[in-house]
Amino acid sequence: MLIATNKAVSIDYTLTNDAGEVIDSSAGGAPLVYLHGAGNIIVGLEKALEGKQAGDELKVSIEPEEAYGEYSPELVATLNRAMFEGVDELAVGMQFHASGPDGSMQIVTIRDLDGDDVTVDGNHPLAGQRLNFQVKVVSVRDAHPEEIAHGHIHGAGGHHH
């Protein structure tokens, strides 16, 4: 069975940056299970997997525009510590939900603390980076109607309700 829209796909993968450092991997754990065509994984990897089948292995480099986007300096802001009302201890690396410029919710990460100035970054941590995947397709099956309706895979390796 070939990978196509509305297929439940299981993959083993290792993700590295251009320096060869491992960013993420399914090694030692369960395969990643996703619903093909539902935007569950980055668009570049989904395109590379289209038409593959169980047992296929591939290496693919995904440019930022088909991964987490280019790094946007406009998504970095310095806020006053008072904006974090109710949070006693702030630390670099902490993440918060915030309203984006278009009113949507986004996650921001504290990048720097300087007195009452808190620098936050709304870019994804992998924005602006080329991502290198080594992937093995473990299995491909038809997604169940409920999985298609929900936009994700249920059960082992997928979403649990």
pTM greater than the 0.85 cutoff: no
- Contact (CB, 8 A) for 56 and 137: yes
Q: Which candidate, 9, 2, 43, places its Cα nearest to that of 26? A: 9
Please state, in angstroms and rounded to a whole number, the distance separating the CA atoms of residues 157 and 30: 7
- Contact (CB, 8 A) for 59 and 20: no
Please state, in angstroms and rounded to a whole number, the distance separating the CA atoms of residues 45 and 150: 21
On the CB side of 7, how many CA atoms lie within 13 Å of its CA? 20
H/E stretch holding 22: strand 22-25
Per-residue pLDDT tens over the stretch 87-120: 989 999 999 988 776 778 889 999 999 999 999 9
Per-residue pLDDT tens over the stretch 26-64: 999 999 999 999 999 999 999 999 999 999 999 999 999
Per-residue pLDDT tens over the stretch 112-156: 999 999 999 999 999 999 999 999 999 999 999 999 999 999 876
**Domains located in the chain, CATH noted:** 7-68+127-150 (3.10.50.40), 73-121 (2.40.10.330)
On the CB side of 91, how many CA atoms lie within 13 Å of its CA? 3
